[in-house]
Amino acid sequence: MNTDHMPAPAAADGGPFTDADDRSETTMTSYEVGQRVALVHTSDPHTLLRPGDTGTVRRHDQRHNIVDVLWDSGSTLSMCLDAGDRIAPATTPSPTGDLVGEATGWAAALRRMRAAGAEAGRTAAEWWAQDTIGARASGDTRLAARRILAGVEDGDPAVFDSLPHFSSVGESVDIAGWELFADATGDTTGWFGLRLQRRDEAMAVYRDAYDTAATDRVAALCHLAASPTGRDVSHLRPDRVRIGDVGVFAGEWARTTGPDGDDRIEVGFVGTLIDHWNGWAVFACTRAVAEAIVADQQRHRDQYRHRLREQGVPADDLDRRVDAALADLSFDGDVIVADQRALADDPDAIDRITPDGDGRYVVMGRSWCWEAVDPYACDRIVGDLPDPDQA
């Protein structure tokens, strides 16, 4: 039986055993007649004994370091400690059933198992992420992260099956349980004294904590990888944005279709929601964001002009056609000039948008159909995003 994966027990001083410590233990430990012991490992290929089986010591030949044991299963296999066989004192149940010991208590042992399982699950998620959405991944990691997040939110079995899950590794569940229990509680022998029901309970707690923590950490890492800013922006989702809150805003004209047929937004703008108009959002933004909105509108005008030119529209008619379709925004000092005369067929349709006392602009509020959008749907976001505790 291969036990290379089994952690070494702690030395008397609390530190890890060295090889010298291990040799010293096998020669110096004395087992008394009648003492209860549990099997940790035997190299006998023919025995039916398994790790965790218990028995009673009949004799300890200290000269040859051989312990004769009457095993509860009926076996009389002796343990040759110098040849690699290993046993440990078995924990004796207390009258109240606290098999980990009265001082610690079973509830405390389960809490430690849960904490250890959660930590192991988070670690597994970190390693998993490296190959899927991290440094070792290939392809579009933002797209991969979005797909995983969508699958987690929808409860897609195919996505959940691809996430890290706890599985007992090694040659037996007893060995895996002993390792995990010993690491979590610091009790290297208590596992062998537990009833099967409590072993199952401990492993179930560990497994549940592992899987839950792994899934939660995967979601958190995907939120980072899917974000256009490299930060978690889930606190800025549109259903969480109220009057006075910071959000990400865009217009219907910015929507595109992603590679999965999903709704994408070319660029979102950060601002503070100040009002609603006919069901649409009215938001205030900084000068930098306002400049980006003006530049984005000019980009749309340029793209439309290019399409018209490709369609054969005469050069002397391009400006008129563009102005009739898209408002012309520009800065005049600190003022945004919105020229919509051709669009509205109104010679007086020129608006001048001035900043408020804080230098913030309401760009085409109550004129354009702005809405709060999911920041994860944006390919790019302009503006400073608040941290979750500041939103």
CA 344 to CA 328: how far, in whole Å?
12
Residue type, 37: V
**Averaged over 208-229, what is the pLDDT?**
91
- Which residue did the predictor score with more confidence, 350 or 191? 350
* Average pLDDT value for the chain: 84
Compute the distance between CA of residue 331 and CA of residue 136 in angstroms, rounded to an integer: 45
Whether 145 has a pLDDT exceeding 60, the answer reads yes
Handedness of CA 56, 58, 62, 63 (dihedral sign): negative
Contact 167, 117 (CB under 8 A): no
Model confidence at 326: pLDDT above 90? yes
HEC secondary structure over the chain: CCCCCCCCCECCCCCECCHHHHHHHHHHCCCCCCCEEEEEECCCCCCCCCCCCEEEEEEEECCCCEEEEEECCCCCCCEEHHHCCEEEECCCCCCCCCCCCCCCCHHHHHHHHHHHHHHHHHHHHHHHHHHHCCCCCCCCHHHHHHHHHHHHHHCCHHHHHHCCCCCCCCCCHHHHHHHHHHHHHCCCCHHHHCCHHHHHHHHHHHHHHHHHHHHHHHHHHHHHHHCCCCCCCHHHCHHHCCCCCEEEEEEHHHEEECCCCCEEECCEEEEEEEEEECCEEEEEECHHHHHHHHHHHHHHHHHHHHHHHHCCCCHHHHHHHHHHHCCEEEEECCEEEEECHHHHCCCCCEEEECCCCCCCECCCCCCCCEEECCHHHECCEECCCCCCCCC
Q: Which domains does the chain have, with CATH numbers?
A: 19-89 (2.30.30), 106-226 (no CATH), 235-382 (no CATH)
Cα→Cα distances 198→41, 164, 239, Å? 22, 25, 44
Distance, CA of 274 to CA of 363 (rounded, Å): 12
Please give the Cα distance from 328 to 339 (Å, whole number). Answer: 5
Distance CA 390, CA 35 (A): 62
What is the distance between the terminal CA atoms of the chain, rounded to a whole angstrom?
Answer: 57
Q: What angle do CA 264, 270, 274 make, to 5 degrees?
A: 115
CB atoms within 10 A of CB 61: 12
Q: Which two tokens stand for residue 291?
A: 């400049």
pLDDT of residue 10: 37
> Is the pLDDT higher at 139 or at 208?
208
Predicted confidence (pLDDT) at residue 272 exceeds the cutoff of 50: yes
Which residues on neighbouring strands pair with residue 276, listed in sequence order?
Answer: 281
**Proportion of the chain above pLDDT 70, given as a percent:** 86
Residue 122 pLDDT class (50, 70, 90 cuts): very high
Residue 96 has a pLDDT of 38
| 162: confidence class by pLDDT, cuts 50, 70, 90 | very high
Q: What is the rounded CA–CA span in Å between residue 318 and residue 316?
A: 6
Whole-angstrom distance, CA of residue 265 vs CA of residue 379: 6
State both tokens at 365.
């509020």
| Mean pLDDT to the nearest integer, 338-365 | 94
